[in-house]
């Protein structure tokens, strides 16, 4: 049975004191509620070690926002999988829409990153999704299919156990457009069917597919109630403990 996951991507926000304060607030607020989802937070690189220490002994897991494709070398400013693991990080986000857009990370590069992270035994939250023009032109299904097949569909079936998928409708994030829960379910069902066709229904039905389209406390329960939505990758709402806790408790059991 696939697991529901709520992951907070903190992006380039909060210094170490603010990070520790948010973690402490989350620990307190999560202790007061009942929830069944896995909970992850992804602080900036320089705060990962402190975050791992602060969450020790709790149900909160720490993920990284990115990783370099090389194991080591002359790549100034980059972070390797070994470095992440050395501070206790076991999960990494790869392919986030902001990495694709601002840093021009394409399928070829992402495939290398995925290969390296998997070889190191890391869990990957792999992000993908269409832009506004691709949605309006009706190409959203083909774009998502291409992003998945180009990067993931030559993996061994056993490697899919290390994957979590995160669908990001980029057109519904900060554009004034709104993605409905029905649209989320439609795409998630499409994704699950693609995987089932390629790897069998056991894999298709066991992979967790998160939704990353501006989930907030007000819409989380309705979105998470959809059959093929297994939680969310949360951006802005994860920066406030009360909002993030509300989203965590909205995830179905």
User: What contacts 196, CB < 8 A, 6 or more positions away?
Assistant: 203, 204, 205
- Residue-wise pLDDT for 97-152, tens only, equals 999 999 999 999 999 999 999 999 999 999 999 998 999 999 999 999 999 999 99
Closest CA to 128 of 101, 96, 92: 96
- Residue-wise pLDDT for 38-79, tens only, equals 999 999 999 999 999 999 999 999 999 999 999 999 999 999
Q: For the range 201-209, what are the long-range contacts, defined as Cβ-Cβ under 8 Å and sequence gap of 24 or more?
A: 203/157, 203/160, 205/2, 206/1, 206/2, 207/2, 207/160, 207/163, 207/164, 207/165, 208/2, 208/3, 208/4, 208/5, 208/164, 208/165, 209/164, 209/165, 209/166, 209/167
Range of the domain at 19: 5-250
Closest CA to 168 of 193, 188, 198: 188
pTM, to two decimals: 0.97
Q: Please give the Cα distance from 3 to 124 (Å, whole number).
A: 14
Q: Verify whether residue 188 is a known catalytic residue.
A: no
Q: Verify whether residue 96 is a known catalytic residue.
A: yes
Which CATH number goes with the domain that contains 236? 3.20.20.70
- Residue-wise pLDDT for 151-179, tens only, equals 999 999 999 999 999 999 998 887 767 68
Q: Please give the Cα distance from 44 to 13 (Å, whole number).
A: 7
Rounded alpha-carbon distances, angstroms, from residue 40 to 54, 61, 202 = 13, 5, 25
Count of domains for the chain: 1
Q: Which of 61, 105, 134, 168 is catalytic?
A: 168
Do residues 164 and 123 make contact, with C-beta atoms less than 8 angstroms apart? Answer: yes
Q: Which of 68, 96, 140, 188 is catalytic?
A: 96
Residue with tokens 């470095």: 83
User: What contacts 222, CB < 8 A, 6 or more positions away?
Assistant: 181
């Amino acid at each position: 049975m696939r697991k529901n996951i709520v992951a907070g991507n903190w992006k380039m926000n909060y210094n170490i004191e603010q990070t520790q304060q948010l973690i402490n607030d989350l620990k307190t607020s999560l202790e007061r509620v009942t929830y069944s989802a896995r909970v992850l937070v992804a602080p900036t690189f320089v705060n990962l070690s402190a975050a791992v220490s602060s969450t020790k002994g709790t149900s909160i897991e720490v993920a990284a926002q990115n990783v370099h494709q090389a194991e080591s070398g002359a790549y100034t400013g980059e972070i390797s999988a070994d470095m992440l693991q050395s501070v206790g990080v076991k999960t990494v986000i790869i392919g986030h829409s902001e990495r694709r857009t601002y840093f021009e990370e394409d399928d070829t590069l992402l495939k290398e990153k995925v290969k390296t992270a998997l070889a190191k035994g890391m869990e990957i939250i792999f992000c993908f999704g269409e832009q506004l023009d691709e949605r309006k032109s009706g190409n959203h299904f083909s774009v998502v299919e291409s992003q998945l097949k180009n990067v993931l569909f030559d993996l061994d079936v056993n490697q899919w156990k290390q994957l979590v998928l995160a669908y990001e409708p980029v057109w519904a994030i900060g554009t004034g457009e709104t993605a409905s829960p029905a649209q989320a379910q439609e795409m998630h069902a499409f994704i699950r069917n693609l995987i089932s066709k390629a790897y069998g229904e056991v894999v298709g039905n066991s992979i967790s597919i998160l939704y990353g389209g501006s989930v907030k406390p007000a819409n989380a329960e309705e979105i998470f109630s959809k059959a093929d939505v297994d939680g969310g990758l949360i951006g802005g709402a994860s920066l406030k403990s009360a909002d993030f806790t509300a989203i965590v408790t909205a995830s179905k059991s």
